[in-house]
Amino acid sequence: MSQKKVDQRKQPPPSQIMGNDAQRGLKNQRKKNGKMYTQAKGIKGQIASDPYKGKVSFGTDKYRFEEVLEVDPEGFQINDQLEPRIWKDEKLRPFIGKKLTEIANDFIDGLPFNATIQDLRFTGSLANYNWSKYSDIDLHIVIDFEELDDNKELVKEMFDAKRLRWNEHHDITIKGYEVELYVEDVGEEHSSSGVYSVMDDEWINHPEQIDRSVDLDTAKKKASDIEQQIASIDAMFDRGQFEKVIRHVDRLKKKIRTMRQAGLDTEDMEFSPENIAFKLLRRNDLLDTLTKLKYKAYDQSMTLDD
């Protein structure tokens, strides 16, 4: 059989896409992101995709990263103004505030119980000077959890499941930026230096324009370590170790949350290497891949063949 030419660099020949949805999604996203994965002596042959520069052995018990993740440094620059399409004279543009309010109300109306919105808060990099083309509109819906149940942790888990499902099933953009919904409890502290109340049309935490340096090297190393662990979990899935996949996904998600919070609790806050590493994982859709691996592993573990 003739093999398709790739480029002038020496690469293994391409083979069929791996057989499950999670692996297909991971492979397709990697091709889209321009990273190169090789699967030398892997479970289903060798795989190559169009690279930036980095390589990782993938789909085998032995993993290595020859180079850490490639990133776009422009995605972490400090701008001299807030995003002008979103803000005017440091106030949220009225039509954007109205649209965000409609989105939040639609989310609440779709719940199987009554919940009262205490506030809507716009936060994240688009409420700061470190916005970029990679930014999302982080819209936090503030609810008094105790109005629903005394077990606030149970309420949080329920809202997390609902908002994840909402974000998964909706692709809403405003001025080219995706809208991501979050639900938070009244009195919850914010680690972001920029927080804007959409309902009150005023800043809760006004961002400061500070020329900060970002330690991209450290952030890339942290993100690459987690990416490697996700590749290992994906290999477990391919071997049919579904219960093990679920345990390892839960463990790694907890590690990622702890890592990010540790960075947000430092003086650097959203500019910390830990938070930047989290952003790299999110931009490369690795967090979504991790969640999908757990769902697929659960489905497979509950499935009985004929």
9 is a domain residue? no
149 is a domain residue? yes
6 is a domain residue? no
Output the pLDDT for position 279.
Answer: 87
Considering 205, 228, 262, which residue would you say is the last residue of a domain? Answer: 205
Same structural domain for residues 187 and 232?
no
11 is a domain residue? no
The CA distance from 181 to 107, in Å, is 9
The strand pair at 202-205 and 195-197 is best described as antiparallel
Output the pLDDT for position 297.
Answer: 94
Reported as a single tens digit per residue, the pLDDT across 258-284 is 998 898 888 888 888 898 899 888 888
Give the residues across from 87 on adjacent strands.
92
Output the pLDDT for position 215.
Answer: 83
Instruction: Give the gyration radius of the chain's Cα atoms.
Output: 21
Output the pLDDT for position 116.
Answer: 94
CB burial string 185-206: b at 16+ within 10 A, e below? eeeeeebbbbbbbbeeeebbbe
Same structural domain for residues 117 and 47?
no
69 is a domain residue? yes
Contact 41, 62 (CB under 8 A): no
Same structural domain for residues 256 and 159?
no
Same structural domain for residues 139 and 251?
no
118 is a domain residue? yes
The contacts of residue 114 (CB under 8 Å, 6+ apart) are none
260 is a domain residue? yes
Output the pLDDT for position 75.
Answer: 66
pTM score, whole prediction: 0.63
The CA distance from 181 to 132, in Å, is 19
Same structural domain for residues 57 and 84?
no
Cα–Cα distance list, 19 to 234, 245, 298 (Å): 12, 17, 17
Output the pLDDT for position 119.
Answer: 96
Same structural domain for residues 255 and 293?
yes
Considering 178, 205, 232, which residue would you say is the last residue of a domain? Answer: 205
Same structural domain for residues 152 and 223?
no
CATH code assigned at 127: 3.30.460
Tokens 């579904």 identify what position?
Answer: 242
Same structural domain for residues 164 and 97?
yes
Considering 205, 236, 262, which residue would you say is the last residue of a domain? Answer: 205
The CA distance from 138 to 193, in Å, is 13
Give the residues across from 205 on adjacent strands.
195
Q: pLDDT tens track of the chain, all 306 residues?
A: 444 444 444 444 433 334 455 445 544 554 444 433 333 333 333 333 333 333 333 333 333 333 345 566 666 778 899 999 999 999 999 999 999 999 999 999 999 889 999 999 999 889 999 888 888 999 999 999 999 999 999 999 899 889 888 888 889 999 999 999 999 999 887 767 789 999 999 999 999 887 777 788 888 889 999 999 999 999 999 999 999 999 999 999 999 989 988 988 888 888 888 988 998 888 888 888 898 999 999 999 999 876
Same structural domain for residues 199 and 247?
no
Same structural domain for residues 85 and 195?
yes
Same structural domain for residues 59 and 101?
no
37 is a domain residue? yes
The CA distance from 2 to 14, in Å, is 11
Instruction: Spell out where the chain has E strands.
Output: 36-38, 55-57, 87-88, 91-92, 117-123, 137-143, 173-174, 177-185, 195-197, 202-205
Question: 170 phi and psi, to 5 degrees?
Answer: -125, 145
Same structural domain for residues 68 and 83?
no
Output the pLDDT for position 168.
Answer: 81
Residue 275, domain extent: 21-73+213-302
Total domains in the chain come to 2
Contact 64, 39 (CB under 8 A): no
Question: 274 phi and psi, to 5 degrees?
Answer: -65, -40
